[in-house]
Amino acid sequence: MVDYEQDGITIEETVELCRRLEAEGVDVIHCSGGHHALMQYEVSPWYMPRVLHRWGWEQIKAAVSIPVIASGSIVAPDVAADIVASGSADFVSLGRPLLADPDWPLKTQQGRMDDITPCIRCNDGCLHRGLNVGRSAGCTVNPSMGEEYRYPIEKAQRSERIAVVGGGPAGMNAARVLAERGHHVVLFEQARLGGQLNTAVRHDLKKDLRALLAHLIHRLEGVQVVSRQVTAQELVSAGFERVMLATGRKPVPFQGPVSDARVLMAHEISDRSQVEGPVVVIGAGMTGCDTALWLQAAGTGDVTLIDSADRVLSQGYVFTDEMGMPDLLSDHGIQVRTNTRAISIDSKGVTVQDDQEREEVLAARTVVVACGYAPCTELADELATLAPGLPVHLIGTAARDGRVMDALHDSFFVARRC
Ligand SMILES: Cc1cc2nc3c(=O)[nH]c(=O)nc-3n(C[C@H](O)[C@H](O)[C@H](O)COP(=O)(O)OP(=O)(O)OC[C@H]3O[C@@H](n4cnc5c(N)ncnc54)[C@H](O)[C@@H]3O)c2cc1C
Ligand SMILES: Cc1cc2nc3c(=O)[nH]c(=O)nc-3n(C[C@H](O)[C@H](O)[C@H](O)COP(=O)(O)O)c2cc1C
Ligand code: SF4
Whether 85 and 135 share a structural domain: no
Compute, in angstroms, the gap from residue 147 CA to the centroid of ligand 2: 20
Cβ(408) – ligand 1 distance below 6 Å: no
Q: Is residue 1 assigned to a domain?
A: no
Are residues 282 and 230 part of one domain?
no
Residues 236 and 169 both lie in one domain: yes
Same domain, 43 and 110: no
Looking at the predicted structure, is the pLDDT value of residue 273 above 90? no
* In a domain? residue 240: yes
Pairwise CA distance, residues 232 & 75, whole Å: 41
* CA nearest ligand 2 atom 29, residue: 43
pLDDT one-digit tens code per residue, 167-206: 999 999 999 999 999 999 999 999 999 999 999 999 999 9
CA dist 343 and 350 (Å) reads 7
pTM of the model: 0.97
367 with 381, same domain: the answer is: no
Residue 144 lies in a domain: yes
Say yes or no: 326 and 352 in one domain.
yes
Does pLDDT of 253 surpass 90?
yes
Ligand 1 center to residue 256 CA distance, Å?
A: 25
324 Cβ below 6 A of ligand 1: no
316 — pLDDT class (breaks 50, 70, 90): very high
- Residue 384 sits in a domain whose CATH number is 3.40.50.720
Q: How far apart are CA 291 and CA 203, in angstroms?
A: 8
Say how far residue 168 (Cα) sits from the centre of its chain.
Answer: 12
Our answer on whether the CB atom of 120 is closer than 6 Å to any ligand 1 atom is: no
Domains in the chain, number: 4
pLDDT of residue 27: 98
Cα–Cα distance for residue pair 202/107, rounded to 1 Å:
28
Cα(96)–Cα(250) distance, rounded to whole angstroms? 32
Residue 6 lies in a domain: no
Cis peptide before 169 (omega within 30 of 0): no
Strand ranges inside 261-334, DSSP E:
263-265, 279-282, 303-306
Atom of ligand 2 nearest to the CA of 73: 25
Ligand 3 neighbour 141 (Cβ under 6 A): yes
| CATH number of 335's domain | 3.50.50.60
Structural domain span for residue 42: 11-93
Give the per-residue pLDDT at 341: 97
- Using 50, 70 and 90 to split pLDDT, how confident is the model at 272? confident
| Protein residue whose Cα sits closest to atom 2 of ligand 1 | 200
Question: How large is the average pLDDT for residues 346-361?
Answer: 96
Which residue minimizes the CA distance to atom 4 of ligand 2?
A: 43
Take atom 12 of ligand 1 and give the residue whose Cα is closest. Answer: 403
C-alpha 413 – ligand 1 centre gap (Å): 18
Q: What residues does ligand 2 touch, defined as CB less than 6 Å away?
A: 32, 42-43, 71-74, 94-97, 126-127, 130-131, 137
Q: Are residues 201 and 222 in the same domain?
A: yes
Percent of the chain with pLDDT over 70: 100
Judge whether 71 lies within some domain.
yes
Regarding whether 360 and 394 lie in a shared domain, the answer is: no
Cβ of 100 below 6 Å from ligand 3: yes
81 and 144 belong to one structural domain: no
The answer to the question of residue 268 being in a domain is: yes
Q: Which atom of ligand 1 is nearest to the CA of 398?
A: 26
Mean pLDDT, residues 360-365 taken together:
96
Nearest CA to ligand 3 atom 8: 119
Q: What is the number of the ligand 3 atom nearest to the C-alpha of 142?
A: 6
Query: What's the rounded Cα separation, in Å, for the pair 300 and 296?
Result: 6
Does residue 356 lie within any of the structural domains? Answer: yes
Q: Which of 340, 341, 276, 274 is nearest to 302 (CA)?
A: 276
**DSSP state for residue 258 in the 8-state scheme:** B
In a domain, 2, yes or no: no
Kindly tell me if the per-residue pLDDT of 148 is higher than 90.
no
Ligand 3, closest atom to CA 138? 1
For the cut 90, the answer to whether the pLDDT of residue 150 exceeds it is: yes
Same domain, 270 and 349: yes
Identify whether residues 391 and 353 lie together within a single domain.
no
212 CA from centroid of ligand 3 (Å): 11
- Ligand 1 pocket, 315 CB below 6 A? no
> Does residue 349 share a domain with residue 267?
yes
Question: With a 6 A CB cut-off, is 365 part of the ligand 3 pocket?
Answer: no
Give the atom of ligand 3 at the shortest distance from the alpha carbon of 43: 3
pLDDT of residue 372: 95
